[in-house]
Amino acid sequence: MAISPASTNVASQILSNAGEVYHNLSVPVLYEHAVKRHEGKLLQGGTFAVFSGERTGRSPKDKFVVRTPEISEHVWWGNHNQPLSVDVFERLRAKATAYLKDKDIYLQDCVVAQDPDHRKTVRVITEQAYHSLFARTMFIPSSPKPADSNPDITIIHCPFLQLEGEADGINSDAVVALNMTEGVILIAGSAYAGEMKKSVFTAMNYYLPLDGVLSLHSAANVDPRTGKSALFFGLSGTGKTTLSTDPERLLIGDDEHAWTESGIFNIEGGCYAKTIRLSKDAEPDIFEQTSEFGTILENVIFDEDTREVDLDNDSVTENTRGSYPLESLRNVYTEEVAPHPAHVILLTADAYGVLPPIARLTPAQALYHFLSGYTCKLAGTEVGITDPETTFSPCYGAPFMALNPTVYAELLEQRLKMTGAEVWMVNTGWTGGKYGIGKRIAIRETRQMVRAILNNGFGDVTFRKDAVFGFEVPTAAPGVDSKLLSPRDCWADKAEYDATYASIAEKFKANFAQFRNLVKPEVAQAGP
């Protein structure tokens, strides 16, 4: 997908009117700047702790896509991609440019997409050193380029620019605006670093599929013994990072990938993991990064005197985060493109406690559940989410899908047919009752089931057909209490379980109505 960059002029105007321009500073130097500017605090081990202010998660109501003639017919317009006129965008960009005048700014040149055939150059302009460090960590640092070079994507990041909501043609004092035609992303009024990461991901979810490449909101890893990879789909909080970061396998990436006819590749260069109640025993590799030089800890509480972190403290937000480079982990896949996946795992966090913890899907069921994207948003991942909230998020990442979900589903169907990959659904949510009554399925048990999938450990196991959804549920799993595999048996009130399961099935039916006439009959009939 060709971009018509206006970003050269955008960047040049900002840079020519700025105070000091700090171009492609290294990690230690960015640390020094951030400390000197009082942007955060150094903690034990060398991590850098910051607080993002009022916004501690993404702000979906403030995200817009600029409606240009070139993209209008392609974009999946709606709540996730609200249209913004070119005129309003230009006024907002002018405000940002004026705001940055005479300010010291930080500039990072990066790329996204490990596969050189699909790589995009990204220039990040921000007013804070730690946001520049975040960009350097989450994207892929590139060789220094002249300040007047022409990137594919330019991010203008003004976290302290307060806008005027309706008067500015937007919904609040903040905005995340993506101009796909020009390759310009404007973020203002929010210091939450995840807005940068997810904005670029949204842009790549526009550009890549139009070139025949399936972009994925997924983690991925590979078995070093067999060379076979696996994909893990899921929204934030479902366990993508935890389950893909496995000491027995090599991590390709924890959140954003693409699948070509040649294999899969990571779109980014870092990890952005939830850290709330992180356990050294259950998640040792991620836990280790919370005390490593180069890691940014966002909204994590710490002792002011000892500078030791308290990962159990959610007084600021449930959505505490750690940003660290992929290369800092022990077991990392280092090639640009990984082999095709042998297994695809759809992760859901069912707060109702009715879905089985594991199920095997047919290809039609895989597409049905991919388009449904059922899960429960967990507290803190978005502004205003304080308790688990039922959601259907097509492609397990609707907030970041720029095109109609059926575009990604069609590409997924092609890849599954080409590779013969098995598809499974894994529930990392509740058992024995809904949220507040039951308990969350232990990470240890989920990891055991996932490892059984990846190591073909269900070959001699019998399966039962689920009476409601029709998928196959194993009757046993290595190292897992078989009772857990039958959710109904875990409920004290069986009648309440049946009623709850039936109500969830009805929600699936109602939600899938939007796709029923857009998919093949076997997919439309693959649900309850």
Per-residue pLDDT tens, the chain, 528 aa: give them. Answer: 556 655 556 778 898 899 999 999 999 999 999 999 999 999 999 999 999 999 999 999 999 999 999 999 999 999 999 999 999 999 999 999 999 999 999 999 999 999 999 999 999 999 999 999 999 999 998 876 666 678 999 999 999 999 999 999 999 999 999 999 999 999 999 999 999 999 999 999 999 999 999 999 999 999 999 999 999 998 877 888 889 988 899 999 999 999 999 999 999 999 999 999 998 988 888 999 999 999 999 999 999 999 999 999 999 999 999 999 999 998 999 999 999 999 999 999 999 999 999 999 999 999 999 999 998 865 544 555 556 678 899 999 999 999 999 999 999 999 999 999 999 999 999 999 998 899 999 999 999 999 999 999 898 899 999 999 999 999 999 999 999 999 999 999 999 999 999 999 999 999 999 999 999 999 999 999
Biggest CA pair distance of the chain: 69
According to the 3-state scheme, what is the secondary structure of 307-328? CCEECCCCCCCCCCEEEEEHHH
Phi, psi angle pair for 109, to nearest 5°: -100, 120
Q: What is the Cα–Cα distance from 507 to 374, expressed in whole angstroms? A: 10
82 Cα distance to chain centroid: 19
User: pTM, whole model, 2 decimals?
Assistant: 0.93
Q: Find the radius of gyration of the CA atoms of the chain.
A: 23
Q: How many Cα atoms sit within 13 Å of 248 on the Cβ side? A: 11
Place of tokens 């709850």: 500
Read off the amino acid at residue 69: P
> C-alpha distances in angstroms, 456 versus 271, 441, 452, 482?
28, 22, 6, 18
The CATH-assigned architecture of domain 7-39+58-211 is 3-Layer(aba) Sandwich (3.40)
Quick one: which of 147, 144, 148, 125 has its CA closest to 135?
125
Q: What is the Cα–Cα distance from 381 to 199, expressed in whole angstroms? A: 15
CA angle 416, 417, 423 (to 5 degrees): 35
Q: What is the Cα–Cα distance from 138 to 463, expressed in whole angstroms? A: 41
Q: Which CATH number describes the domain made up of 214-270+335-524?
A: 3.90.228.20
**Active-site positions?**
58, 198, 217, 236, 240-241, 255, 321
Q: What is the Cα–Cα distance from 57 to 219, expressed in whole angstroms? A: 20
Q: What is the Cα–Cα distance from 252 to 244, expressed in whole angstroms? A: 9
Place of tokens 């199920």: 359
Q: Domain residues of the chain, as ranges?
A: 7-39+58-211, 214-270+335-524, 272-327
For 26-37, b where at least 16 C-beta lie within 10 A, e where not — what string?
eeeebbebbeee
Phi, psi angle pair for 15, to nearest 5°: -65, -40
Q: What share of the chain is helix, strand, coil (3-state, %, to 5)?
A: 30, 25, 45
Q: What is the DSSP string of 217-254?
A: EEEEEE-TTT--EEEEE--TTSSHHHHH--TTSEEEES
The CATH-assigned architecture of domain 272-327 is Beta Complex (2.170)
Q: What is the Cα–Cα distance from 495 to 230, expressed in whole angstroms? A: 37
Q: Which two tokens stand for residue 260?
A: 């070509």
Q: What is the Cα–Cα distance from 271 to 329, expressed in whole angstroms? A: 10
Q: What is the Cα–Cα distance from 209 to 204, expressed in whole angstroms? A: 8
Q: What is the Cα–Cα distance from 273 to 381, expressed in whole angstroms? A: 11
Q: What is the Cα–Cα distance from 129 to 323, expressed in whole angstroms? A: 14
